[in-house]
Chain A
Amino acid sequence: METTTDNWNEVMAKSREALPAQILNYIAAVMEGPEPHSQLISVLHRVQGHFGWLGTEQIDAVAQLMRIPQAKVTGVATFYHFFRLKPRGKFMVHVCLGTACYVKGASEIAERFKEELGVDFGETSKDGMFSLENSRCLGTCGLAPVVMIDEEVHGKVKPEQVRALLDTYRTKAREG
Chain B
Amino acid sequence: MDTTINLTIDEKRVSVPAGTTILEAAEGCGVRIPRLCYHPDLSLMGSCRVCVVDVKDIGFYMAACSSPVWEGMVVQTNSPHIRQARRDIVELLLDNHPKECQICERDGNCELQNLAYDLGVRERLFEGERKRFPLEVSGRSVIRDSEKCVLCGRCYRVCAEVQGVHNLSQHGRGFTTVVTPAHGADMDDSVCIQCGQCINVCPTAAFLEKKHSDQVWAAIADPTIHVIAQTAPSIRAAIGEGFGLPPGTPATGKMISALRLLGFDAVVDTDFGADLTIVEESHELLKRLENGGPLPMITSCSPGWISFMEKFYPQLIPHASTCRSPMGMASVLLKTYYAEKTEKDPKKIFVVSIMPCVAKKFEAQRPEHFTPDGTPYTDAVLTTREAIWMIKSYGIQFADLPNGQFDSPLRIATGAGDIFGTTGGVMEATLRTASELLTGKPAEKLEFTEVRAVEGLRELEIPIGDRVLNVGVANGLHNARELLDKIVSGEKHFDVVEVMACPGGCIGGGGQPYPPIGMKVLDPELLRLRASALYEIDGGKQLRRSHENPSIKILYDEFLGEIGGPKAHELLHTEYSAKKPRGI
Contact = CB atoms under 8 A, between A and B. Distances in A.
Interface of A: 1-3, 5-8, 11, 56, 59-60, 63-64, 67-75, 78-79, 81
Contacts of A56: 183
B169 A74 contact: yes
Contact of A64 (B184, B576, B582): B582
B314 A6 contact: yes
11 contacts: A1-B294, A1-B318, A6-B315, A8-B314, A8-B315, A60-B581, A69-B167, A69-B191, A71-B180, A71-B190, A71-B191
Contacts of A68: 584
B315 A1 contact: yes
A70 B314 contact: no
Contacts of B167: 69, 71
B292 to A, nearest CB: 13
Nearest to A69: B166
A74 B171 contact: yes
A78 B160 contact: no
Do most interface residues of chain A lie in helix, strand or loop, or is the interface mixed? Answer: helix
Contact of B171 (A7, A8, A78): A78
Nearest to A8: B315
B171 A70 contact: no
B580 A63 contact: no
B181 interface: yes
Nearest to B178: A78
A75 B318 contact: no
Contact of A74 (B156, B182, B318, B578): B182
Contacts of B169: 69, 71-72, 74-75
B160 to A, nearest CB: 7
Contacts of A2: 294, 315, 318
A63 to B, nearest CB: 6
Interface string B359-395: 0000000000000000000000000000000000000
Given A2-B318, A71-B166, 15 more contacts: A2-B294, A2-B315, A3-B315, A5-B576, A7-B578, A11-B582, A56-B183, A60-B581, A63-B584, A64-B584, A69-B166, A69-B583, A78-B172, A78-B173, A79-B172
Interface in B541-584: 576-578, 580-584
A79 B169 CA distance: 11
A3 B171 CA distance: 35
A75 B183 CA distance: 9
A37 to B, nearest CB: 11
A67 B584 contact: yes
Nearest to A56: B183
A63 B172 CA distance: 18
| Most-contacted residue by chain A among B170, B180, B294, B315 (CB, 10 A) | B315
B173 A5 contact: no
B582 A7 contact: yes
B317 interface: yes
Nearest to B165: A69
Instruction: Name, among A68, A69, A81, the residue most crowded by chain B CB atoms within 10 Å (CB to CB).
Output: A69
Contacts of B190: 71
A5 B584 contact: no
B454 interface: no
Residue picked from A5, A64, A67, A73, most chain B C-beta under 10 Å: A5
B168 interface: yes
B581 A70 contact: yes
A123 B329 CA distance: 53
Contacts of A70: 181-183, 191, 581, 584
A1 B489 CA distance: 10
Interface string B315-334: 10110000000000000000
A63 B582 CA distance: 11
Contacts of A3: 315
A70 B165 CA distance: 10
Q: Counting chain A CB atoms within 10 Å of each CB, which of B191, B294, B578, B580 scores highest? A: B578
Contacts of B490: 1
A78 B87 CA distance: 32
Contacts of A78: 171-173
Residue with the greatest number of chain B CB neighbours at <10 A, chosen from A5, A63, A70, A81: A70
Nearest to B313: A6
Contacts of A67: 584
Contacts of A7: 314, 578, 580, 582
A50 B160 CA distance: 31
Contacts of A1: 294, 315, 318, 488, 490
B581 A75 contact: no
A5 B317 contact: yes
A59 B314 contact: no
B582 A71 contact: no
Interface in B277-309: 294
